[in-house]
Amino acid sequence: MGKTIWSMCGMCSVRCPIKVEVDDGDISWIEGNPHILDRALCPKGSAGKALYNDSERPQTPLIRRSGRGAGNWDPVSWETAIDYIGEKLERIIDKYGARAIMMSCRGGPWADLYKAFIHALGSPNFTNHDSACGRNVHHASLSIYGLGRKGFVYDIKNAKHLVLFGRNILAALRVAEVNQVMDMLDQGGTLTYVDVRQTLTGVKAQNFFQVKPGTDYALALGMINEVLRIGAYDKEFVDKYTIGFEKLEEFIQPYTAAWAAKECGVKEKKIKSFVEQIGADRPKVIFHPGWMLSRYRDSFYHSRALQILNVLMGNIETKGGQIFAKGPGDCGVKGLRTLDSQIPKPEEKRADGVGWKYKHFDKGPGLFHLFYDTMTTQDPYPIKALICHRHDPFNCFPDPQAQKDALANVDLLISVDTHYSEFGWFSDVILPESTYLERDTGIATQKGPKPRFIVRRKAVETRFNTKPGWEIYKLLAERMGVGKYFPYETIEDYWNWQLEPTGFKIEDFDEKGFVSLTDKPIMYDRENLEGKFKTPSGKIEIISSKLEDAGLPSLKPYEPPCKPPKGKFRLVFGRSPIHAHGHTINNPLLNELLPENTLWINKRVADRLGLNDGDLADVVSDTFKGTVKVHVTEFIHPEAVYTVHGFGRQVPLQSRAYHAGLSDQKLMEGLLLHMDEAGGGLCLCEKFVTVRRSPRNPRRSVEL
């Protein structure tokens, strides 16, 4: 007899709500939650079944037997693994203090669990992947609104105009969001897309700006200038809610549309006609402030400029604009109880310097890459253990070799993950987490105009000797003598404990997999937004006191990007809707559709290099070389080459992904500490590589 399980997808970090049908203990069907997604699901979502059935993933806890990365593992029981870790951590705490332990994850609704564990041990060093992702966007948003990047949701569906700077929104593929974009287009909305190449998002656009790599900020400045010049902004909103507008007017003077057009390599006429369009469409115009915007050295200021454009459009708390993300409190419901809030905050200063050395950054997860510096210099103190939960720093951060060099100073590396990550393969212990289809997870809050609580429930029994995260950290906490901070034995205990203040019961999730906290969308009174902006002044800060106090300009004069040295190209990267970065490359069904990436290269350049479409090219940085097929196209800027991130994996037990395609992050030598000082994000598009025809293109074959 079949049963229905309401759950949440775990193939990427979007975590779409899903419905799973199970027959005789096996998955027969997975679809998007019909109440939220009308059954829609992306290719990765369906391929979840192949992940569950795949045996090329860690099947039991593993302890390293010989040198790091050699791949000799002792399969052990959970008791042995937890005890091994416990002993090592105790030794580290005795010698260096709990602060020598750091924990990283990839954020998301369940970070409470890992944060609670590291704080319970007494270490402040909780971090995540975000300095290689959205930190610039987050900090830009904080500096303008006093709210992080998740402080607003975008009402794309009802917008008249969506403007995307390198935000390849249809490939990033958040199912609900993608449908909003398509709905907007169906209703006659306009899409404007800016990138150094054409993408599957850009082909849907009415306006397309192919800019010179690294000049996005210039284009945004030119747009601001033109908006102010023709008065295409909401004067009333700006007067009422912002500070520093006069300084913007003064600052923006030199950055005319003509100037931007020249700098970016686009047409002035096109910028002007675009600004006329948005002038007519406002306030229903959304400038997406970026998602993964750890790209150029001015990405933080680029994101700030995009937010300034949003403010000029007056798109806050209006249909078709940016809407404050409402939480339980807005619905008169108490929030979920969190583990971390029950634990005394460690008073020690963070090892990455965030909060004391770098006061303008959000202290929450700090900046992971700075820990590598700490590991090497031992300043302010040594880091001796690193736990990575579902996070693969070797895939996520540039220059894995530089990371390995720093990790030589760290005594214990632990990977908690459902699959073999590149970091896991190098680490000392792998604790295999059950896949999302095999595990329950704590209850999560999803904010928005209609906030909800949602839960992931286990659909099928575990195939291997794996455990869910809530149990892994409970076991570790018990072993470390801090089990009292994890006051549950079963997942039901945990759910009930989380839910207790809210008045809901876990049974309330049985009908649809979630509980809505309101029937109707909640909108604040747009005429009365006082107190909603959490900046020091309570206003939208075009001039940010926090930045100015840190000695950083709020409006940074534009500096042109470095031109690639002769014979070199700027390496840019992105994603495909088939894969979730490095996570899914080895998934049998997804691998079948996209088994390797290519290197996009401009046609004129390729002709010069003697490269035809499909030829093999060597891509060389300082000491690393990759070989990959080229995709020759006229629709990429001649200064750039592009590849899909996540390939070139070197975990032998992932037989399908092993050495398939090109790894962009391994080419990014020297970028590990190349940070945007104002935004905290890494500058991942600041590497120039050489491309040449590979000698591996067959000409003759003379084997005996």
Nearer to another protein, 335 or 577 (CB): 577
Instruction: List residues near another protein by CB under 8 A.
Output: 29-32, 38-43, 45-47, 49-50, 170-171, 173, 175, 178-179, 182, 185-186, 198, 200, 202-208, 270, 577-578, 588-593, 633, 635
Interacting residues of 64 by C-beta distance below 8 A, sequence separation 6+: 70, 72, 73, 74, 427, 428, 429
Taking the least distance from each CB to another protein, the nearer of 153 and 171 is 171
- Tell me the closest approach of the beta carbon of residue 175 to another protein, in angstroms: 6
- Half-sphere CA count of 198, side-chain side, radius 13 A: 12
Burial (CB count <10 Å: 0-12, 13-18, 19+), residue 186: exposed
Nearer CB in complex with another protein: 11/367: 11
Cα distance between residue 674 and residue 24, in whole Å: 53
Q: How far is the CB of 40 from another protein (least distance, A)?
A: 5
Q: Read off the tokens for 196.
A: 């150094």
Q: If DSSP codes are grouped into helix, strand and coil, which group holds residue 443?
A: strand
DSSP 437: G
Q: How far is CA 152 from the centre of its chain?
A: 16
CB of 512 to another protein, least distance (A): 18
3: exposed, middle or buried (Cβ count in 10 Å: 0-12, 13-18, 19+): exposed
Q: Which is nearer to another protein, 208 or 420 (CB)?
A: 208
> How near is the Cβ of 60 to another protein at its closest, in Å?
26
Distance CA 11, CA 366 (A): 26
Pairing mode, strands 568-574 and 540-541: unpaired
- Closer to another protein by CB, 80 or 273: give it: 273
**CA–CA dist 579, 268 (Å, integer):** 37
- Taking the complex as a whole, the smallest distance from the CB of residue 186 to another protein amounts, in Å, to 7
Contacting residues for 83 by C-beta, under 8 A, at least 6 apart? 479
Min dist. Cβ of residue 107 to another protein (A): 24
CB-nearer residue toward another protein: 95 or 267: 267
User: Which lies closer to another protein via its Cβ, residue 170 or residue 477?
Assistant: 170
Least separation, in Å, of the C-beta of 635 and another protein? 5
Is 185 or 325 the residue whose CB approaches another protein more closely?
A: 185
Of the two residues 230 and 593, which places its CB atom closer to another protein in the complex?
A: 593
As a whole number of angstroms, the distance between CA 28 and CA 46 comes to 11
Whole-number Å distance between alpha carbons of 169 and 146 = 25
Q: Starting at the earlier edge strand, list the strands of the sheet with 385-389.
A: 73-75, 62-64, 429-432, 412-417, 385-389, 101-105, 126-128
Smallest distance from the beta carbon of 41 to another protein, in angstroms? 5
Host H or E run for residue 515: strand 514-516
Q: Would you say 176 or 243 has its CB closer to another protein?
A: 176
CB-nearer residue toward another protein: 43 or 124: 43
Q: What's the min distance (Å) between Cβ of 210 and another protein?
A: 8
Tokens for 426?
Answer: 């190098």
CA 38 to chain centre: 25
Shortest Å distance, C-beta 647 to another protein: 17
Tokens of 563: 């031109």
Q: To the nearest whole angstrom, how small is the minimum distance from the Cβ of residue 46 to another protein? A: 4
Q: Identify residue 112 by its one-letter amino acid code.
A: D
* DSSP summary character for residue 278: H
- Partnered with residue 165 across adjacent β-strands are 194
Give the Cα separation of 30 and 300 in Å (integer): 39
Report in angstroms how near the CB of residue 218 gets to another protein at its nearest: 19
**Contact (CB, 8 A) for 304 and 139:** no
Closer residue to another protein, CB minimum distance, 208 or 470? 208
Place of tokens 């097929």: 629
